[in-house]
Each structure stands twice: as C-alpha cells, then as structure tokens.
Amino acid sequence: MNSWREQGNLRLRLVLFIGLFLFPFLFIYYGCKGEEKGVTEITFWGMGAEGEKIQALLPEFYRRHPEIKVRVQMVPWTAAQEKLISAFVADNTPDLCQLGNTWVPQFVLLDALEPLEGYISKSAVVKQSNYFKGIWNTNEVGGKIYGIPWYIDTRLMYYRKDIFKKAGYELPPKTWDELLDLSRKIVKLQNDPNKYAIYLPTNEWAPFIIFGIQNGSDLLKNNWTYGNFSGDKFLEAFDFLMKFHKERLSPLGVSQVTNVYQAFEEGYFSIYISGPWNIPDMKKKMNDSTGEKWGTAPLPGKNGYPGASLAGGASLVMFKQSKKKEAAWKFIEFLSEKGTQLAFFGETNNLPAVVSAWDEPGFKKDPFIPAFYEQFQNVVATPKIPEWEQIVSAKLQQYAEYAARGKMTAKEAMQNLDREVNIILEKRRRLLGK
C-alpha cells in the first residue's frame, strides 16, 4: 500500500514539475519571434495567388536591399477582408499589405492606415503622373493619399468562341438584349438539361452591382446613408439578371460548380463574368492560349458599348502601427517600378497599374489582354463606405439567392435588401449627423 502510494506520488510529482517548467517556457515561446541582427524584417500580407507569386520577385529585391527581409503571409481572397479587419481589431496588422482599392476608405475611417504624401514627395519612383487617374483617386480619402496602386483589374466577359459561333454569334453580344437572346440560343442549341449558358452565381455580388450601375443606379442614396436597391433603376437591372435564373439559362445552386474552369471547358456554361486572375487557369484547362476556342470581351451595355464595369485592383498600403515604415516604403517603391510590374504580370497575370508598362510589346501580345484595355475605358468605383462589404457580400448575395430560387419576387427581395441596408447604415447616419 505504502510503496504503491510512493510510486504514484513520484509519477505525479514528475508531471507537476514538468508543468512548472513548461509554464515559463511558454512565455518565452510566444515572445521569441527573433530576428537576425542588422536585418529589418517586414511583414507583407498578400492575397491568394499574389501572396504566393510575389515570392518570385523577392530575390531581386534582396539583391538591392540585403538589409531588409520580407516575410510574406498568404491570405485567401475569400477571407481577406474579414481577416484584415480582425487583424486590425486584434492590433496585429502587418507592416504593409495589399488592399482591394475599394477597401481603402474603410481602413482610413478606422484610422488604421499611414498617410503617404510625405513619402511620395521624396520618392523618385512613385509619382501620381505614372498612374491611371481614376485608379489613383480610389486611394485618396479626405485629401490625403493612403495607398499606391499595385495592379488594376476589372470584370469582363469570358466566353466560348466555338459555342457562340454555333449559336450564330460571330462577335460577342454588345447589348443586354443580345446577351439574353444569345443565352437562350445557347441553351436551345445544347439541348441538355445539365448545361447552361451563363454562370451568374448568387454568391458573387459583382455582376449584380455592375448591371445596376450600367442601368444608371446610384446604389446608395443621400450621401450613401440609405439603400437604393429597390429604386427603379437597380430593380430593373436585377430583374433582368433574374431572368437568366428563371429561364434556367444559369445554374441555380452554388454547390454544383466546384471547379469553374472545368465547368467552362465542359461547356456547362459558356459565359462567365469575372476578372483577369482567371486567364492562366483558363488557358491551362482549355488547353488553348491563342484564343481559338475561347476569348475575353468587354461587357455588353445598356446605354452604349462597352458597358460599365467595376474599377478594381489592389493598392499597397502601410499600417499606422508599423514600426518599420522606412523599410516597408522601400518595398513599395520596388514593387512600383515598371520592370517589377511587368515581371509581376508575368507571374500572376495581374494588370500593371503603371501606365507606361502597358506600352511594352510583350505585354500587348497576349490575346486576352486587349479586351481589358477596352473595358478600362469605362470603369466605376463602388461606394466608399466601410459597410459596403457587408451590404454586398452578406445581404445582396442573400437576397439574390432568395430571388433566384423563386422564394421572393425581384421587388420583394430588393425591398427587403433596402430595409436591411438601412439598418446597417444607421450608425453611419448618426456619425455623419454629429
């Protein structure tokens, strides 16, 4: 009995001791994100493929700046906005990061970003005149510049040339009516209940907003303090898009398409409204990089061609909390050089923000790029408010799904949407009112 107790005693004492030793160790463990001497380590958050591909640019940067080390963290695009905000809330923002340029205003409002005029005025590389004006402006809030455009993008139409031809369209549609007519013809032609014409998933809000803008809707009214989605203009556009779901020209569920590129290749749909990041995967999956079977085209319009699309892209920003702003700025300058911009295009297919890069012959060679150039002639920004992401990615998508599945009429859906948007914007109204 006694010896048994001694044994147990010994074992447990051992465990306790290990516990006591581990406890201080844990403070050391989380405290020691050590750095090499003489080297400044900056943290950069890159979204999706950009986060991965930017690695290829680093050797050149290190060659020029051996005193700086860049720690790149990849953030999936789907969770990027969410993650950045939580990082801000948790006081855990990186030194610099790419920010969707429509997100800049909301981080400014949160007082999270460092104004950049001081850096720009001293810089030999970054100058306002190097950039598309509209894109530069997305980074300006209250007269101050908070971001440097990194790359630009916009959404246009990916389409199957072969199928369009069979349906009698030598050229892509230029108007809404043509788009609808063509879609009907494609579905008729395929004559397969498992094939559709266009992919308009309700969990991608951009097309809904684009068509609304094309129809002249202002989306939000009274200085962006009330929703205007049930207004005539947006409602008409929304109703138009719903036709594609009602007539089964577009697949309903999101779960059916697990791989867009494969679905596009199989002819599951022939039209997809999306951005330049798809080009490499499309080339691979279609086994066609010359534009035989598929192509890109500007969006059809309601009033004139090309129809408007969204001014997208990413800017480079520095966070206020960063203690290594000088080093971070050097990295921004490096990324803004024409050569780096072209190299980055080669890696990711992200379109350069620096205008002079667009004249490079190597850049123009790609058969899928000119359509983007054309589309850029007509791009518009979304409202610059922090609530925008919640409005579109939670609420608009939610009600689009209700309408697409026939649970609500387009009008009911948009009225409900406005009601919820007005609740979301309540705080904004109060803050502005003060």
For residues 97 and 369, which CB has a smaller minimum distance to another protein in the complex?
97
For residues 22 and 304, which CB has a smaller minimum distance to another protein in the complex?
22
**3-class DSSP assignment, residue 319:** strand
145 touches 329 (CB < 8 A): no
Question: CB of 394: closest distance to another protein in angstroms?
Answer: 7
354 touches 338 (CB < 8 A): yes
For residues 51 and 300, which CB has a smaller minimum distance to another protein in the complex?
51
Enumerate residues 6+ apart whose C-beta is below 8 A from 245: 200, 252, 403, 404, 405
For residues 161 and 245, which CB has a smaller minimum distance to another protein in the complex?
245
Question: CB of 343: closest distance to another protein in angstroms?
Answer: 23
* AA identity, residue 428: R
Q: Give the interface with another protein as residue ranges (CB under 8 A).
A: 5, 8-9, 12-13, 15-16, 18-19, 22-23, 26, 29-30, 73-74, 76, 78-79, 82-83, 85-92, 109-112, 253-256, 258-259, 386, 390, 394, 398, 401-402, 405, 407, 416, 420, 423, 427, 431
Give the burial class of 289: count Cβ atoms within 10 A of its Cβ; 0-12 exposed, 13-18 middle, 19 or more buried: middle
Q: What is the 3-state secondary structure (H, E, C) of 246-266?
A: HCCCCCCCCCCCCCHHHHHHC
Question: CB of 93: closest distance to another protein in angstroms?
Answer: 10
Question: CB of 415: closest distance to another protein in angstroms?
Answer: 12
d(CA 371, CA 349): 14
For residues 36 and 359, which CB has a smaller minimum distance to another protein in the complex?
36
Question: CB of 14: closest distance to another protein in angstroms?
Answer: 12
For residues 220 and 342, which CB has a smaller minimum distance to another protein in the complex?
220
Question: CB of 214: closest distance to another protein in angstroms?
Answer: 28
Q: Provide the token pair at 346.
A: 């080669």
d(CA 348, CA 350): 5
Q: Provide the token pair at 260.
A: 């867009």
